[in-house]
């Protein structure tokens, strides 16, 4: 049974998918399309931090990772299941609607908790994603994009930034930091 606030409302937490619960697409895109540019993986993502907003990156991601629904890392699955015992989990992602079926298959196949269609929120823009998070009103949102974490924190929602090569630590009210996705459970316990 998820934890409840004093007013008997179930606590909710929202998670981004790509770069957080599905950590592999960045590596696959880099290896297939960009490794011959002469940058290391980390240097590439630091230089191209906002490159994911371009059409070329979107096409690369769609080509590489949306074709199948791979299995999640066992540690991520175990961690998210533990979080699901404490919170109602919602999944909020910026992905084209045409990938709803494959996203559903990924979450179902890997046993992600509280998963049902109503807990999967597909946004077509970052602003829509932030509006969805605001409407859900979670106690925390977990993401790998600094700009999203900052906007969510401005709403007064605790935001956890998962360390990735393309983001920078943010020091602001309502912002927390996880060195690795598997650290999120401990960060949530401390909020």
Print pLDDT tens along the chain (191 aa). 454 444 556 899 999 988 888 765 555 565 555 666 665 656 655 555 544 444 555 555 555 444 444 545 778 888 999 999 999 999 999 988 887 888 888 888 888 877 777 899 999 899 999 999 999 999 999 999 899 999 999 999 999 999 877 777 888 889 999 988 889 999 999 88
Q: Which residues contact 10 (CB under 8 A, 6 or more apart)?
A: 2, 3, 4, 87, 88
43 and 86 co-located in one domain: no
Q: Which domain CATH number covers 147?
A: 3.40.50.1000
142 and 172 co-located in one domain: yes
168 and 76 co-located in one domain: yes
What are the tokens at 38?
A: 């002469």
176 and 85 co-located in one domain: yes
- Looking at the domain assignment, is residue 117 inside a domain? yes
- Looking at the domain assignment, is residue 7 inside a domain? no
Task: Specify the number of domains making up the chain.
Answer: 2
Closest CA to 59 of 25, 106, 103, 101: 25
Q: What is the pLDDT of residue 116?
A: 77
77 and 170 co-located in one domain: yes
- Looking at the domain assignment, is residue 153 inside a domain? yes
Residue 117: which domain range?
12-23+72-190
124 and 93 co-located in one domain: yes
125 and 171 co-located in one domain: yes
76 and 61 co-located in one domain: no
- Looking at the domain assignment, is residue 158 inside a domain? yes
114 and 162 co-located in one domain: yes
177 and 139 co-located in one domain: yes
Residues in the chain: 191
- Looking at the domain assignment, is residue 114 inside a domain? yes
Which strands form 158-162's sheet, in the order they lie side by side? 120-123, 88-94, 12-15, 140-143, 158-162, 175-178
Cα(92)–Cα(132) distance, integer angstroms: 8
Total H helices, total E strands in the chain? 8, 6
- Looking at the domain assignment, is residue 105 inside a domain? yes
Q: What is the pLDDT of residue 4?
A: 46
56 and 136 co-located in one domain: no
């Amino acid at each position: 049974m998820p934890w409840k606030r004093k007013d008997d409302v179930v606590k909710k937490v929202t998670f981004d998918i790509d770069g957080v619960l599905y950590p592999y697409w960045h590596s696959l895109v880099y290896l297939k399309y960009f490794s011959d540019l002469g940058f290391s993986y980390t240097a590439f993502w630091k230089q191209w931090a906002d490159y994911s907003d371009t059409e070329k990156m979107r096409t690369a991601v769609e080509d590489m990772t949306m074709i199948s629904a791979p299995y999640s890392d066992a540690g991520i699955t175990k961690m998210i299941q533990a979080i699901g015992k404490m919170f109602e989990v919602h999944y909020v992602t910026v992905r084209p609607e045409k990938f709803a079926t494959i996203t559903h298959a990924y979450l179902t196949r890997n046993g992600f908790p509280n998963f049902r269609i109503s807990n999967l929120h597909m946004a077509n823009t970052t602003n829509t994603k932030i509006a969805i998070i605001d409407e859900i009103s979670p106690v925390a949102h977990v993401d790998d994009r600094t700009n999203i974490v900052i906007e969510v924190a401005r709403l007064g929602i605790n935001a956890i930034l998962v360390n990735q090569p393309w983001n920078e630590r943010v020091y602001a009210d309502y912002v927390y930091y996880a060195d690795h996705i598997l650290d999120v459970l401990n960060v949530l316990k401390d909020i």
